[in-house]
Amino acid sequence: MSARSLMISPSILGGNFSNTADDIAAIAASGADYAHFDVMDGHFVPEITFGAKMIEDARPLTDLIFDVHLMIEKPELSVERFAKAGAGIITVHAEATRHIWRTLSLIKECGAEAGVAINPGTPVSFIESVLPIADYILVMTVNPGWSGQRFIPECMDKIAELDQRRHDDGYGYLIEADGGIGLGNVKALFDAGMDMAVVGSAFFREDDKAAFVSQMQERCL
């Protein structure tokens, strides 16, 4: 049995926004480790979802850590607000700011854990300088913006590269993968070095969500 264990962060984007409180309750009841919130601004990605008020209003519903994925331009202008709203992890896209070091530092100063995300077209070398300070590296395994897309297998190499780098250089980040993940590919991602799987549509399409979470974990024993 492996010493590592898979963590699962279901994304409410895969659910129904007219039913968010029930979707969050379903995540909490499933045995998942986190709840993932996808914030989109209509600029960094075409879609618009919600802002910090969603985090604030959902915060009393559960003790789960809120894993907030900001797909927004200039996230440095908003991280303080999201931290105050109750985000436990705030992840920003390296492509969305000229100030990635300052933004990650600001997230930590606000009391949250700091994640940096990269799109499928962005190499690991682009975030080289912040590898020592990031708590999480989020590797997008689809193009950001929508739930229910097909996994891009070429992104797997970046997970393996990040896993190698942290072993070689002693970095402490966890590796999160987001997009197109389900029972069919979770084991390969875990073996490559992924610690946390964000799961949207594959989670919400299941009637028995607790069984799904268990099956995902069992695949990675």
Applying CB under 5 A, the residues found at the interface with Zn ion are 38, 69, 178
Residue of 23, 33, 38, 41 marked active site = 38
Strand, coil or helix: what is 218? helix
Token couple for 210: 């607790």
Phi, psi (deg, nearest 5) at residue 33: -90, -30
The two three-digit tokens of residue 54, written as one number: 């969603």
Contact 172, 135 (CB under 8 A): yes
> For residues 35 and 62, is the Cβ–Cβ distance under 8 A?
yes
Residue nearest to ligand DX5 (CB): 200
Near ligand DX5 by CB under 6 A: residue from 15, 75, 179, 193: 179
Greatest alpha-carbon pair distance for the chain in Å reads 46
Contact with ligand DX5 (CB under 6 A) among 142, 196, 213, 220 = 142
Considering the rule CB under 6 A, would residue 23 count as an interface residue with ligand DX5? no
Q: Does 209 engage in binding with ligand DX5 (CB under 6 A)?
A: no
Tell me if 15 contacts ligand DX5 by CB under 6 A. Answer: no
Q: Which of 20, 105, 122, 149 binds ligand DX5 (CB under 6 A)?
A: 149
Complex with ligand DX5: residue 72 or 100, whichever CB lies closer: 72
Beta pairing partners, 40: 71
Q: Does 30 bind ligand DX5 (CB under 6 A)?
A: no
| CB nearer to ligand DX5: pick between 19 and 129 | 19
Q: Is 178 an active-site residue?
A: yes
Closest contact distance (angstroms) between CB of 68 and ligand DX5 is 11
Q: How far is the CB of 101 from ligand DX5 (least distance, A)?
A: 23
**Part in contact with ligand DX5 (CB under 6 A); list of ranges 79-87, 91-99, 101-109, 174-182:** 174-182
Q: How many residues would you count in the chain? A: 221
**Which DSSP state fits 12?**
G
Q: Is 38 a catalytic residue?
A: yes
- Amino acid (one-letter) located at 113: E
Query: In terms of CB distance, is 171 or 201 closer to ligand DX5?
Result: 201
In the chain, at which residue ranges do the beta strands (DSSP E only) sit? 7-10, 34-40, 65-71, 89-93, 113-118, 136-140, 174-178, 196-199
Where in the sequence numbering do the catalytic residues fall?
38, 178
